[in-house]
Amino acid sequence: MKNLINTIRNIFKIEDLRFRILATLGFLVIYRLGSHIVLPGVDPEKLGQLHRQTSEGILGLLDMFAGGAFSNASIFALGIMPYISASIVVQLLGIAIPYFQKLQKEGESGRKKINQFTRYLTVLICAGQAPGYIVNLRAQVPNAIISVTNPELVSPFTFWFTSIVILIAGTIFVMWLGERITEKGIGNGISLIIMVGIIARLPHALRDEFLSRLDSGGMVVFLVEILLLGAIIAGVIMMVQGTRRIPVQFAKKIIGNKQYGGVRQYVPLKVNAAGVMPIIFAQAIMFIPATIAQFFPDAYASQGIITTFGNITSFGYNFTFAFLIIIFTYFYTAISVNPTQMAEDMKRNGGYIPGVKPGRKTHDFIDNVISRITLPGSFFLAAIAILPAFAIMAGVTNNFARFYGGTSLLILVGVVLDTLQQIESHLLMRHYDGLLKSGRIKGRSTPAAVAS
């Protein structure tokens, strides 16, 4: 406890770090306040049906990502997911279109142009999603909309136009907040906004599960669920950080053992080099059917693909979700880990792989190794992601089950570790003790060394 207090004191002794933490908290408070500002012309007291619609299924997940803004008919109802979707499209274009490949190689100027394209695409996606949200809102809670109950006060056209403009502006503002957090705060702004939205739903989830078990006399079951959740969190932490060690017999096949100045040279490899990004990407894709369904509110009452992908416990949903996570794990690993650069660095520093020629052969060998060690990581990521479906089938309430593994837990753990790692880096740079004296915190961006 004393060490924790001293660490907090050290954090606030560093002016830059103190400013960044306070700025981050300030931006996040603004986001949370905006999540409760209801669209003009909507009566917040009559949104009960919308709350019930988002209490389960894929729309429940969408509402969780938006921090409850979706079910509140808030100005931030579309959340940050349009920006995530736009980022996915732009990264895919970087693989398929030479122009975007060129921009990726232009350094800072290219990055700025890519960000600009991402912003424009975000606006286009919002322009497509906002009308769907209004259609669903009118179908679910017509009595809450003044243009329906009192058209003489507000014309339907005025409500439609202003609501669409406000929803688009809301997402752009949330995107701006995320960028400001990244620039002036601590951690990745977009990830922190998603995390805060998820955390906002956690107290409600715990309350619902506790009351459910209390009514049924299952408090022992509730305690077992909490303990099991702790075990899952520990497993997720290990998975998000990657592995610090790879079996000796495997490492010796990969890493040369040449030493320089008494320090052994290692190639940084991780079982999970992609972190939680694959699950965010895959979840964004899985939201597409729900987004389309908002244009056809009665689709959920009929059988078909919308019904299948709107049910997070269905086989089709979970199989597709797991498959996308595995694919995106390989995709994100491919764009974040560069075997060519690793092979060149080894050659430049005098390192080698026993029995493998420098250059192209080394590149091929490292690429093959990365592909092999990524496979178990992708499967574990997919398994954690679909755990909520099994929790729901085991009797856990929908709200609490979403934290029983799944996207929410992976994002929470990953973002917290990343943020703590950045805080620790600031402390260590200024010769203060880190957050943990027993060892440095490893976030998603920290490469794991291979032990010999």
What domains can be seen in the chain, in order of their start residue? 2-429 (1.10.3370.10)
Mind spelling out the 3-state secondary structure of 121-178?
A: HHHHHHHHHHHHHHHHHHHHCHHHEHHHHCCCCCCHHHHHHHHHHHHHHHHHHHHHHH
What is the SS3 assignment for 441?
A: coil
Beta carbons within 8 Å of 186's beta carbon, 6+ residues apart:
17, 20, 21, 24, 419, 422, 423
Burial zone of 220 (CB within 10 Å; 0-12 exposed, 13-18 middle, 19+ buried): exposed
What is the SS3 assignment for 79?
A: coil
CA neighbor of 38 nearest in space, from 71, 7, 9, 73: 73
Which amino acid, 384?
Answer: I
365: tokens are 């060998």
pTM, two decimal places = 0.76
- The DSSP output letter for 311 is -
Longest dimension (CA), the chain: 83
CA neighbor of 342 nearest in space, from 327, 362, 361: 362
Residue 34 neighbours by CB distance under 10 Å: 17
Most trustworthy range by pLDDT among 9-18, 81-90, 416-425: 81-90
- For residues 443 and 424, give the distance between their C-alpha atoms in angstroms, rounded to a whole number: 11
Model confidence over 148-173: pLDDT tens digits? 777 777 788 888 999 999 999 999 99
**Residues forming a β-bridge with 259:** 264
- The DSSP output letter for 353 is B
Model confidence over 27-81: pLDDT tens digits? 999 999 999 999 998 888 888 878 777 777 777 778 888 888 888 889 999 988 8
Is the Cβ–Cβ distance between 60 and 406 less than 8 Å? Answer: no
Q: Which residues of 241-262 are buried (b: 16+ CB within 10 A; e: fewer)?
A: bbbeebeeeebeebbbeeeeee
Dihedral-angle region of residue 70 (phi above 0 means left; psi in -120 to 50 means alpha; beta otherwise): alpha
Residue 123's pLDDT is 93
**CA separation (Å) from 89 to 11, 80, 92, 333?**
38, 15, 5, 17
Model confidence over 190-222: pLDDT tens digits? 888 988 888 888 888 888 778 877 766 677 777
CA neighbor of 242 nearest in space, from 452, 444, 406: 444
Model confidence over 123-134: pLDDT tens digits? 999 998 899 889
